[in-house]
């Protein structure tokens, strides 16, 4: 899950940059990426990377397919969150960077994106929590994760309710600390206006 979220941050940052680029083909590519991955069910993406690519000779392990699918899927949402953060940046910051002679790329990566990340800590935290929960879908491609382990235990015990409640409790044990960490970061990185 950590690998897929790191991939989502990287891909989302690049695609958000494309979405605000002054070059139309990059904007189109960014829009195409966001629309495709945001509007395709995660389960379908996992099956494409695990089974679909195998049909053309490109084989991914279940774990790798899950990391790629979850990373690309979450990356589309990260791109939109960052794009909104970029839109929230004061125009004066952008004008100041231009007056210093910074190229669009340099301005974006050294002035705009660092401020945008600070602005969007809460929605990025929500995406992290969603990614933790969405990782359960990897069970369908036999990735040995929490929900998969729960199903293994159920197959021996034949009683889903207590096992299901225990698995849900374990997901809570992962998501609640993530929420606390996000709240801490939000307060620590808050931009005073």
| Phi and psi torsions of 167, nearest 5° | -65, -45
CB atoms within 10 A of CB 165: 11
pLDDT of residue 150: 78
| Phi and psi torsions of 182, nearest 5° | -65, -45
For residues 158 and 93, the answer to whether their CB atoms sit within 8 Å is: no
Nearest to 15 by CA among 65, 66, 77, 64: 77
pTM of structure: 0.87
Among the residue ranges 79-93, 94-108, 120-134, 142-156, the one predicted with the least confidence is: 142-156
- The confidence band for 37, taking pLDDT boundaries of 50, 70 and 90, is very high
Distance in angstroms (rounded) separating the CA atoms of residues 179 and 188 = 14
Distance in angstroms (rounded) separating the CA atoms of residues 151 and 79 = 34
User: What CATH number should be reported for the domain holding residue 148?
Assistant: 1.10.3720.10
Half-sphere exposure of 44 (CA within 13 A, CB side): 6
Distance in angstroms (rounded) separating the CA atoms of residues 73 and 137 = 12
Average per-residue pLDDT for the chain: 89
pLDDT of residue 2: 87
pLDDT of residue 192: 58
> In the block, which residue shows the tokens 């990897």?
138
> In the block, which residue shows the tokens 């005073």?
192
Residue 193 pLDDT exceeds 70? no
pLDDT of residue 117: 87
pLDDT tens digits, 100-122: 888 888 888 888 888 888 889 88
* Number of compact structural domains in the chain: 1
Residues in the chain: 193
pLDDT tens digits, 52-95: 998 899 999 989 999 999 999 999 999 999 999 998 888 888 88
Domain of residue 114: give its range.
2-189
Nearest to 43 by CA among 129, 130, 134: 134
Distance in angstroms (rounded) separating the CA atoms of residues 129 and 127 = 5
CA 141 to chain centre: 20
Q: Which two tokens stand for residue 142?
A: 């036999």
**pLDDT average, residue stretch 118-147:** 88
């Amino acid at each position: 899950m950590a690998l897929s979220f790191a991939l989502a941050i990287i891909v989302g940052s690049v695609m958000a940059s494309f979405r605000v680029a002054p070059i139309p083909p990059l904007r189109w590519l960014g829009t195409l990426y966001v629309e495709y991955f945001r509007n395709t069910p995660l389960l379908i993406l996992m099956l494409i990377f695990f089974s679909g690519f195998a049909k053309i000779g490109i084989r991914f392990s279940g774990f790798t397919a899950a990391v790629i699918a979850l990373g690309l899927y979450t990356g589309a949402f990260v791109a939109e969150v960052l794009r909104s953060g970029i839109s929230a940046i004061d125009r004066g910051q952008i004008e100041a960077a231009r007056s210093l002679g910074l190229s669009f790329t340099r301005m974006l990566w050294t002035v705009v994106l660092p401020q945008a990340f600070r602005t969007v800590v809460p929605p990025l935290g929500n995406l992290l929590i969603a990614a933790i929960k969405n990782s359960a879908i990897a069970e369908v491609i036999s990735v040995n994760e929490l929900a998969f382990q729960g199903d293994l235990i159920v197959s021996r015990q034949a009683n889903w309710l207590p096992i299901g409640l225990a698995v849900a409790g374990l997901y809570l044990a992962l998501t609640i600390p993530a929420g606390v960490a996000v709240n801490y970061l939000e307060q620590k990185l808050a931009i005073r206006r």
